[in-house]
Structure 1
Amino acid sequence: MGNQELTFHGLTIAVCSHVVQLLSIGFILSMNVFYIEYIDYFKDSATKTSLVNSIGIGTTFLIGSGTGLAYGPSVVIIGRYFHKYHTLVNGIASAGSSIGVMVLPPLYQVLIDKYGWKGAMLIIAAMNMHIVVCGCLMRAPEDRLQDLSPCEQPASVSSPDCEATADDIETSKFIDTGEVHIPNSEEASEVKILDKKTASSDESIGKKPSVHKHKMLSNFLSGSGIKLFRSHPFLLLMWFTNFISAVAYLAASVYMVAKVVSVGVTRLQASFLFTIIGICSLVGKIIHGSMVDCGKFPPLLMFSSHLFLAGISLMLVSIGGSFPVFAVLFVVFGYSIGVYFPVVPICLTKRLGVQNLATALGWVFLAVGLGDILGPPLAGWLFDISSNYNYCFIMAGTLDILAAVTVLLYYGFDRYRTKRQTS
């Protein structure tokens, strides 16, 4: 590790990121134990009831609202502080979500049994307020400003491509120092001159609306990161595969308890299946960092192979009939997701560079959000027309396998193209 990575603040960032992911992603995934409670309380179809969880989880990734505002920065900031051991520290930080899935579902079930689902929800909300404390401690390191994109940098070091007005600069000074600067008479006269120049430039812009619109469109495309899809087709691959794997993951996790309970397992036992998933995904997240850092296992190949394992295990859930069988299947599933999901930012960093990680990750989160919203209602619709949860898991497993094969084909073609270019 570099000097910056060994500082107390750098280690604090890693711990805070771990806690944020525990309380954010661990929280929203553990909320799936409430599905049966919603079914009993609202007495509606599986399709409609599943929307309660799918919308809550999907919007976290889709629009950066709620816990999404905490989770996204907790992933990106690891890349700002840790370069040499980025994969390892990213795995440790993302292990927070695994610990959350490991600990929270049984706790939620105990709270539901004792206080009802409404009382349990109030207690859970109070627990999640601890995210605020972690968020207050997160700040990008000073010596990594060169890794930021132009519009992410402070006004003093930003490039000419990202213009900032005097009001923007004063606002940033107020945010950083709490001081308000009142211009003197000389400065005020300078501001007037600038205003006249701005007015004249506005008139010239009015004469050339097409040029102005073209510039606005160009700025929008650059700021939103849409151009990354053209310059880096790899981002489109990650968008598609994360979308369908998100459909599969949430479709399976929302109906997991319902499926297991339908064959005679108690609700408390069923909630412990999430604990099994959490433990095994934690192992996967710790192991994957060491495997990638040693340089012998390409991250993209790890992503594909473990997506395939997850798909096979989900398909086999449809024929499970006892708690031990389900436990074994979810051991495999938990380990697989513990490897393939944390590898995503590593793959993006290696292919697109750390300067594009935040934007690329934002697009991937959009794909995950859409998949999370679509997955449970789609699986619920299959249950409503068949009265059988098995089809939900067959669909989920098939989608994971499709994603794995797509990535594997890309990986093989990319290696073939590289060999031809070097030969």
Structure 2
Amino acid sequence: MTNEIRPSVQSEEKEEKELSELKVNKEKNEKKIGILKDNQEKDEKKITTLKDDQEKVENKLSKLDDDDEYDYITIPPDGGFGWVVLVACFIINVIVDGFLNAFGVMSSDIRTHFKCSEFEVTLVISLACGFYMLSAPVASALCNKWGCHRTGIIGSVMAALSIGLSTYSPNIAIMWLLFGVIGGIGLGFVYLPSIVMVGYYFEEKRVIATGIVTAGTGVGTIIYGPLSHFLFNTFGWKYALIMLSAIILCCAICCIFMRPLEPIRKRRVLGVSEKIDDTIHKVMTPASSIKGAKVAPTIVIIPSQQDEELSLPDVAFEDENKIRCRTESGVSTKSRHSIRAEDAVRPLYKEDVLYPGDTRELPEFQSQPDIPTYVQQTTKVPEAVKESKMKAFWDIFLAMTNFHLLRDKKMIIICVANFISMAGYYIPFVFIVPYVKSEKGIEPKDAAKLISLIGVTNTISRFISGWVAKIPHLSPLLINNIGLLVGGTLTLFAPLCQTYFQYGAYSLLWGGFVAFHISLSPIIVCQIVGLERYSSALGLSLMFRGVSTLLSPPVMGAIRDITKSYYLVFAFSGLTFIISSLMHFALIWMNRSNKVEAADEKNKSKESQEKSVASDV
């Protein structure tokens, strides 16, 4: 009996063990199933994420492919809100240039306070005017990087604070730094955006827009002469200068209106070289995707006689390091890639943005079917070897300080002629008031009005200069030369005047004739070097003007201190204008000589072709 029970107990124990093992295995399997489910969920999430990423990549690639066929450009509205911007720019010109041109009214009080020489007090305004011009490349680069409104606001605050604080200068040297250097740079940062915005907002109406804005210089000269005299006599020179600096601060309000335009998309119009590049790209790309295919990394284009055709030209293979070095032959260095939206709103990438003349007369405009295409073709963004946050700044700064342009003989003449003319330009503004007061016995109130008389005709000439330059058979260069020659002759003989009426007549005539030189110089520069190099040439000419303005007035002040007379000062000013006009006349002679040489070469080539045809027959 006992023996029978033992097997049954053993079998039960065995079954219990098997059941417990099954339970353990079941639990393990359930855990594995749970882990597998978790992994499956994770895998599904990964798959979903990968699909989303793939869609994003495809969308980006699609957008890139789409953008490669388009350029973003800004079209000048030629009106609308542009008129508000125009008024703001006009006010800036009134304030900035009016303030600088009226310094002659202030100089006597400053000299008396610091008990300094004519040389020392004149150095204040020469530093201000010199750095005002020398700051142009930096101001242009900042406008391109930060925008005109930010640059203008920074400049107005800088100028207002430095000029206001200069009234607390313990000596004239501190005033040189505050008023002259820092104040001049600040005024340059305010002034240049006002010129840029005219070209940014106006295309077809640019002549009238430029005329209105630049006339602000003359209007400012009219206003600031009597205004400065009144403030200095009523409140004293310190409080008067603080009030004038507060007016400069108002330029910041005007700069708020200088907002960038909204870019639009326009399908790219490829130039000849770009068409060739695009065709090569399309032909070569499929081959490079074939596994094991061997494609030369670079190619060189053998020029074809029919450049306009889009068909693929003959090609020869070349080493990678020698590719695309075609800028010397005149091919544009514009990137083959499209213009991005963030670059389209940068004003200085437009080649004509600083051009004050009628853009419709430019060959680049006449060769295009409409304004959008013209804007597209004249908006050039240099390719970056390496991406940089300051690229927009360095692109413009380096372009406007490109001294390689001085290899051109005509460019050397332009720069030297501008250097000489600016050596005498500010002398009547600075010295005529103290001159007629001290040597001719004219009342200070009446002497200050001479500055206003200069401003009257200066305003008229600046306003009409754009239209005068369009008169048939009358080139801007010739008008410029006549203005310099007449203005120089008048200044040379100005010390011979005896009465207030005679000095008033001199002021009216000189202000009118010299204004043509200032207004037409940019147009002349563009005609000499072309639109593509215009910004660089303008930057160089402004730098030469700035250096000249730094040196000339103090030297003339020193001559006045030594001779105790203003005769040599005005004689020097007159001679600078006459010499500059003669140098500009040399440009006319060079242009005619070049035309004759070109005509002779054309005739020779025509004769050689006729001879070759005759020999073949």
Q: TM-score range by the shorter chain?
A: 0.7 to 0.9
Q: Does 353-362 or 114-123 show the bigger shift?
A: 353-362
Give the C-alpha shift of residue 377 in structure 1.
1.1
- Contact 1:29–1:57, Cα closer than 8 Å, also in 2: no
Whole-angstrom distance in 1 between the partners of 2:209 and 2:216: 12
The answer to which of 410-419 and 154-163 deviates more is: 154-163
- Which of 237, 241, 248 in structure 2 is aligned with 1:121? 241
1:165 aligns with 2:387: yes
Deviates more, 1:155-164 or 1:128-137: 155-164
1:105 alignment partner, one of 221, 225, 236: 225
2:248 aligned with 1:248:
no
Q: Measure the CA separation in 2 of the matches of 1:165 and 1:132.
A: 32
How far did residue 256 of structure 1 move? Answer: 0.8
Partner of 1:322: 499
Q: Which aligned pairs between 1:153-232 and structure 2 lie closer than 5 A?
A: 159=381, 161-163=383-385, 165=387, 224-230=401-407, 232=408
Question: Which residue of structure 2 lines up, in the alignment, with residue 301 of structure 1?
Answer: 478
Shift, 1:308, TM fit: 0.8
Instruction: Say if 1:102 and 1:114 are closer, same or farther in 2 by CA, change over 3 A.
Output: same
1:387/1:358 CA distance change after superposition, 3 Å: same
1:393 alignment partner AA: F
Tell me how far apart the structure 1 counterparts of residues 260 and 520 of structure 2 sit (CA, whole Å).
Answer: 22
Distance 1:356 1:406 in 2: 21
Conserved 8 A contact 2:129-2:549 = yes
| Larger Cα-atom Rg | 2
User: What is the aligned counterpart of 2:582 among 390, 398, 405?
Assistant: 405
State the 1:355 CA deviation: 4.7
Please, which moves more after superposition, 41-50 or 401-410? 41-50
Q: Which residue of 2 aligns with 1:415?
A: 592
Cα distance in structure 2, aligned partners of 1:134 and 1:283: 24
Which whole-Å deviations, capped at 9, do the CAs of 1:209-261 have from their partners, x for residues lacking one? xxxxxxx9x9996573223333x543333222222111101123211111111
For the residues of structure 2 that align with 1:86 and 1:228, how far apart are their CA atoms? 27
Deviation at 1:265, TM superposition (A): 0.3
Amino acid at match of 1:58: G
Partner of 2:489: 312
* Structure 2 counterpart of 1:58: 130
Residue number among 206, 209, 213 corresponding to 1:89 in the alignment: 209
Give the distance between the partners of 2:396 and 2:230, measured in 1 at CA: 51
The structure-2 alpha-carbon separation of the partners of 1:381 and 1:56, relative to structure 1 and needing over 3 Å to count, comes to same
Contact kept in structure 1, 2:526 and 2:534, CA below 8 Å: yes
**Alpha-carbon deviation of 1:344?**
1.4
Deviation by residue 1:316-356 (Cα, 9 ceiling, x = unmatched): 21111211010111111010122110111222233334454
* Contact 2:560–2:566 under 8 Å retained in 1: yes
How many corresponding residue pairs? Answer: 374
SS of residue paired to 2:498: coil
Distance change >3 Å, CA 155–CA 332, structure 1 → 2: same
CA distance change for structure 1 residues 352 and 34 in 2, over 3 Å: closer, same or farther?
A: same
Residue 423 of structure 2 aligns to which amino acid in structure 1?
A: V
> 1: CA distance between counterparts of 2:495 and 2:398?
45
- Offset, 1:373: 1.5
Matched, 1:333 2:555: no
**Which residue of the partner structure matches residue 369 of structure 1?**
546
Q: 8 Å contact 1:292–1:299 — kept in the other structure?
A: yes
Aligned-pair CA distance for 1:25 = 1.6
Q: Partners in 2 of 1:386 and 1:143 — Cα distance?
A: 63
Which amino acid is 1:285 matched to? R
Question: Separation in 2 of the partners of 1:234 and 1:221?
Answer: 21
Give the drift of 1:49: 1.8
Return the offset for 1:105. 1.1
Residue equivalent to 2:109 = 37
Aligned match of 2:199: 79
Q: Distance in 1 between matches of 2:110 and 2:398?
A: 42
1:421 Cα deviation from its structure 2 partner = 1.3
Q: Distance in 1 between matches of 2:390 and 2:552?
A: 42
CA shift in 2, pair 1:347/1:268, >3 Å = same
Q: TM-score normalised to the size of structure 1?
A: 0.80
- Distance in structure 1 (CA, Å) of the matches to 2:526 and 2:265: 15
Q: CA deviation at 1:422?
A: 2.6
Give the letter aligned to residue 132 of structure 2: T
Structure of higher RCO (CA pairs closer than 8 Å, 6+ residues apart): 1
Greater Cα shift, 159-168 or 236-245: 159-168
Unmatched tracts of structure 2, length 5 or more: 1-74, 137-184, 269-332, 345-379, 601-617
**CA distance, structure 1, for counterparts of residue 560 and residue 106 of structure 2:** 18
CA deviation after TM superposition for structure 1 residue 287, in Å: 2.2
**SS of equivalent residue, structure 1 residue 74:** helix
Distance in 1, matches of 2:341 and 2:432, equals 46
* Pair 1:278 & 2:500 matched: no
Q: 1:153 & 1:314 partners in 2: Cα distance?
A: 52
The residue that corresponds to 1:135 in the other structure is: 255
CA contact (8 A) 1:221 1:227 kept: no
User: If the length of structure 2 is used for normalisation, what is the TM-score?
Assistant: 0.56
Distance in 2, matches of 1:17 and 1:98, equals: 14
Distance 1:82 1:114 in 2: 42
* SS in structure 1 of the partner of residue 451 of structure 2: helix
Return the alpha-carbon distance in structure 2 between the equivalents of residues 275 and 9 of structure 1: 31
Structure with greater helix percent: 1
Question: Are residues 164 and 396 of structure 1, via their aligned partners in 2, closer, same or farther at CA, if it must alter by over 3 Å?
Answer: same
Secondary structure of 1:13's partner?
helix
CA distance 1:111–1:318, change in 2 (3 Å)? same
Letter of the 1:419 partner, please give it: V
Q: Give the AA of the match of 2:196.
A: V
Q: Which of 17, 31, 49 does residue 121 from structure 2 map onto? A: 49
Aligned amino acid, residue 89 of structure 1: A
Say which of 236, 239, 244 aligns to 2:415. 239
- Residue identity over aligned pairs, in percent, reads 23
C-alpha contact (below 8 Å) 1:90/1:342 kept by paired residues: no
Q: Is the 8 A contact 1:80 1:144 kept in 2?
A: no
Conserved 8 A contact 1:318-1:391? no
* Separation (CA, whole Å) in 1 of partners of 2:255 and 2:385: 28
